């Protein structure tokens, strides 16, 4: 089992400029980023390699980390006890990226994942490709090379998560703990009190707290 000695990330409370809701923005992120709810905070803490996150390739790698943590780890399990389709969970976000960035994704080649994982990864792209048509009538679909680059970055993110964490179930439990604990906090009140959010994982123990100042 991989031993994660320490992960620490800090977030500041922010109001969503369009919706008026409150959430959390990772320290160092551009002001143009929208604040996150509890699930998004857990995603940024565990499923992103860089901090703060940078570029479309980093986002695609995060989808690969999601495949490890939330698919392998059992987060997406329905009441019958079977894993929900990964590609339905992520296809909307993937489709938005395709429409916005398209062929701008940098080249990335990597060997395929095994069995079911490769199927889920491929179906995620194909389902998102169809959804992108519904989002933007000018979208003409992915070129073969672009599709392979998207898949390559997702594979790379999956392998990064495997190498970093080792045990998907353990990290999935961290994800759920962060989500539950952050959901209990009132970001607007923290903003009024001058508090920020600090999330730490120390020797496999999750700690979520607020503190004043940086």
Element (H, E) at 14: strand 6-15
Is this model's pTM higher than 0.95 or not? Answer: no
Q: What pLDDT digit, counting tens, does each position of 21-38 carry?
A: 999 999 988 878 899 999
Round to whole Å and give the CA distance between 166 and 4.
10
Tell me, rounded to whole angstroms, the distance of Cα 51 from its chain centroid.
12
d(C-alpha 160, C-alpha 127), whole Å: 24
Q: How open is the CA angle 169-205-26, to the nearest 5 degrees? A: 90
Tell me which of 173 and 54 has the higher pLDDT: 173
User: Is-contact 86 127, C-beta < 8 A?
Assistant: no
What does the DSSP assignment read for 177-194? Answer: HHHHHHHTS-HHHHHHHT
Residue 209 pLDDT level (bands cut at 50, 70, 90): very high
Contact assessment for residue 160 and residue 64, using Cβ atoms and an 8 Å cutoff: yes
Dump pLDDT digits (tens) for 155-203: 999 999 999 999 999 999 999 999 999 999 999 999 999 999 999 999 8
Residue 21 is predicted with a pLDDT of 93
Cβ-contact 14, 24 below 8 angstroms: yes
């Amino acid at each position: 089992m991989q031993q994660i000695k320490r992960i620490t990330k800090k977030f500041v409370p922010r109001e969503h400029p369009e919706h008026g809701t409150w959430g959390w923005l990772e320290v160092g992120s551009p002001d143009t980023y929208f604040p996150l709810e509890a699930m998004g905070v857990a995603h940024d803490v565990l499923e992103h390699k860089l901090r703060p996150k940078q570029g479309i390739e980093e986002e695609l790698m995060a989808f690969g980390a999601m495949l490890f943590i939330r698919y392998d780890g059992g987060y997406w399990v329905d009441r019958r006890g079977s894993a929900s389709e990964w590609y339905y969970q992520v296809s909307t976000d993937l489709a938005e990226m395709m429409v916005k960035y398209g062929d701008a994704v940098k080249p990335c080649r990597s060997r395929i994942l095994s069995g079911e994982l490769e199927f889920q990864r491929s179906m995620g792209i194909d389902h998102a490709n169809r959804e992108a048509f519904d989002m933007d009538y000018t979208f003409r679909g992915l070129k073969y090379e672009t599709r392979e680059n998207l898949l390559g970055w997702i594979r790379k993110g999956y392998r990064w998560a495997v190498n970093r964490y080792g045990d998907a179930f353990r990290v999935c439990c961290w994800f759920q703990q962060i989500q539950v604990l952050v959901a209990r906090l009132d970001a607007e009140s923290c903003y009024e009190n001058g508090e920020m959010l600090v999330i730490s994982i120390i020797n496999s123990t999750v700690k979520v707290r607020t503190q004043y100042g940086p």
